[in-house]
Structure 1
């Protein structure tokens, strides 16, 4: 079967544009923000790609696409990543505009670090 001679000769007039899908911008931003968070927390060397793949059960090529911001992780993989990465958790909270939860999370993290430091320092104090 061959194409007709009248195939696709109509062109759009100048100034006419396709409507922008608002979810497309969100998906692109999601992929970029998650990729940045993954690189900050895990790095992007092949060993780190394998580590992330093992954590999430995803293919190494899929993880590479996440790190290159071509795609973002699906819901289940995102939850696993949030379990293992504070950077990813903070990134998701920022994307969802929940900075209040981010502040609470960082405050708790600071309290845990302070508690660990105090316990470590108490071990070096002389006993009575």
Structure 2
């Protein structure tokens, strides 16, 4: 594989995903905070690193749990079910890191239950 600087590396065990098929694998950023849920990564977590502009304008990367990056892409379970404010419903806004992580895990599960992605991972 070419060393493409524009490919986001993944960490943890591979899961059924084009990312894991084509991107380089890197070490889990244990102790760093997820870009969505703001919980620190632990050994065994799965996710990706994306380029970012950090504090002070410095270039760097931000890690995302695989569930958190999917939640940012497809929306919360409320959004997926058409019950969020986008669709005229009410929306629970997850506030704490634990609530945000739980929401991302629920979004991952719902997305897979609906058969939108390959099951597993």
Interval containing the TM-score (normalised by the shorter chain)? under 0.3
TM-score (norm. length: structure 1): 0.23
- Relative to its length, the structure with more helix (as a share) is 1
Larger radius of gyration between Structure 1 and Structure 2: 1
Q: Which has the higher strand share?
A: 2
TM-score (norm 2): 0.24
